[in-house]
Structure 1
Amino acid sequence: MTSNIHKISRRFLLASGAVTLAMPAISTRGFAQQTYVCKIAHTEGVGTPITNAFEDWATILNERSEGRIDAQHFPAAQLGGLAEALEGSRIGTIQVTTAGPDSEEAIAPEIAALGGAPGFIYKNEAHVDAVLQGELGRRASDIAREKTGVEFVAYGETGFRHILSKRPVHSLADLSGLKIRVPQLRIWVDFWELLGAAPTPLPYSEQYSALSTGIIDAIDSDVFSIEGFKFFEQATHLTLTGHWFLPKAVRVNAAWLDSLPDDLQALVRDSAVEVFAEQRRVNRALAGDTLEGLRAHGVEVFTLPADELEAMEAATTPLFDEFGSKSPETAEMIAAIRALG
Structure 2
Amino acid sequence: MSKLPLNRRHVLAGLGATLATPALMGRAHAAEVTLRLHHFLPAVAPMHNEVFLPWAAKLAEESDGAIEVQIFPAMQLGGKPPQLADQVRKGVADIAWALPTYTTGRYPVAETMGLPFMAKDAEETSVALFKLMEEFGEGEFRGMKPLAFWSHDGGKLHMRDAPVRTAADLQGKKIRSPNAGMGELLTALGAETVFFPVTEMVVGLSNGVIDGCCLPYEVVPPFKLHELTKSSSEAAAGARGLYANTNALLMNERTYESLSDDLRKLIDDNSGLELSRHMGKVTHESFEAAGRELVEETGNEIVEIDAAEIATWKEAAEPVYANWIARLDEAGHDGTAILARVNELLDQGA
Deviations 1:50-97 (A, max 9, x none): 322011111112222233322111224433431232321221211222
**Percent identity over paired residues:** 23
Aligned equivalent of 2:204, options 200, 210, 235:
210
Number of residue-to-residue matches in the alignment: 331
In structure 2, the partner of 1:63 is: 61
In structure 2, the partner of 1:5 is: 5
| CA-CA distance at 1:104 after TM superposition | 5.2
Q: Which has the higher helix share?
A: 1
Matched, 1:338 2:335: no
Aligned to 1:216, the other structure's residue is in SS state coil
Give distance in 2, aligned partners of 1:255 and 1:216.
42
1:7-22 aligned at under 5 Å gives the runs 7=7, 9-13=8-12, 19=18
| CA-CA distance at 1:276 after TM superposition | 4.3
Give the aligned CA root-mean-square deviation in angstroms: 3.0
Give distance in 2, aligned partners of 1:177 and 1:34.
56
Aligned equivalent of 1:44, options 23, 41, 46:
41
Give distance in 2, aligned partners of 1:130 and 1:28.
35
Matched, 1:112 2:103: no
In structure 1, the partner of 2:320 is: 319
In structure 1, the partner of 2:300 is: 299
Give distance in 2, aligned partners of 1:15 and 1:227.
23
In structure 1, the partner of 2:265 is: 266
Q: Does structure 1 conserve the Cα–Cα contact (< 8 Å) formed by 2:4 and 2:290? A: no
With normalisation by structure 1, the TM-score equals: 0.85
Relative to structure 1, the CA distance from residue 264 to residue 141 in structure 2 (aligned partners, 3 Å threshold; closer, same or farther) is: farther
Deviations 1:123-163 (A, max 9, x none): 555752552243x23135523333xx222222233221111
1:116-127 aligned at under 5 Å gives the runs 116-117=114-115, 119-123=116-120
Relative to structure 1, the CA distance from residue 151 to residue 144 in structure 2 (aligned partners, 3 Å threshold; closer, same or farther) is: farther
Deviations 1:278-307 (A, max 9, x none): 332222223334312211022211111112
Q: Does structure 2 conserve the Cα–Cα contact (< 8 Å) formed by 1:175 and 1:195? A: yes
Relative to structure 1, the CA distance from residue 170 to residue 225 in structure 2 (aligned partners, 3 Å threshold; closer, same or farther) is: same
Matched, 1:132 2:129: yes
Relative to structure 1, the CA distance from residue 234 to residue 15 in structure 2 (aligned partners, 3 Å threshold; closer, same or farther) is: closer
Deviations 1:194-227 (A, max 9, x none): 2211111222211111110111111111101112
Q: Which runs of 5+ in 2 are unaligned?
A: 236-240
Give distance in 1, aligned partners of 2:75 and 2:183.
23
Give distance in 2, aligned partners of 1:157 and 1:50.
12
Give distance in 1, aligned partners of 2:120 and 2:277.
20
Give distance in 1, aligned partners of 2:14 and 2:185.
43
Amino acid aligned to 1:68: A
Give distance in 2, aligned partners of 1:197 and 1:101.
24
Give distance in 1, aligned partners of 2:217 and 2:177.
16
Give distance in 2, aligned partners of 1:240 and 1:3.
18
Relative to structure 1, the CA distance from residue 56 to residue 162 in structure 2 (aligned partners, 3 Å threshold; closer, same or farther) is: same
Relative to structure 1, the CA distance from residue 244 to residue 17 in structure 2 (aligned partners, 3 Å threshold; closer, same or farther) is: closer
Relative to structure 1, the CA distance from residue 60 to residue 291 in structure 2 (aligned partners, 3 Å threshold; closer, same or farther) is: same
In structure 2, the partner of 1:231 is: 225
Give distance in 2, aligned partners of 1:106 and 1:330.
15
Give distance in 1, aligned partners of 2:62 and 2:308.
52
Matched, 1:221 2:230: no
Q: Which runs of 5+ in 1 are unaligned?
A: none
With normalisation by structure 2, the TM-score equals: 0.83
Relative to structure 1, the CA distance from residue 21 to residue 264 in structure 2 (aligned partners, 3 Å threshold; closer, same or farther) is: closer
Q: Does structure 1 conserve the Cα–Cα contact (< 8 Å) formed by 2:109 and 2:133? A: no
Give distance in 1, aligned partners of 2:230 and 2:109.
36
Aligned to 1:55, the other structure's residue is in SS state helix
Greater displacement, 223-232 / 242-251: 242-251
Greater displacement, 201-210 / 188-197: 188-197
Give distance in 2, aligned partners of 1:107 and 1:150.
14
| CA-CA distance at 1:244 after TM superposition | 0.2
Aligned equivalent of 2:177, options 158, 179, 182:
182
In structure 2, the partner of 1:145 is: 141
Give distance in 1, aligned partners of 2:206 and 2:148.
35
Relative to structure 1, the CA distance from residue 305 to residue 270 in structure 2 (aligned partners, 3 Å threshold; closer, same or farther) is: same
| CA-CA distance at 1:109 after TM superposition | 1.6
Greater displacement, 253-262 / 15-24: 15-24
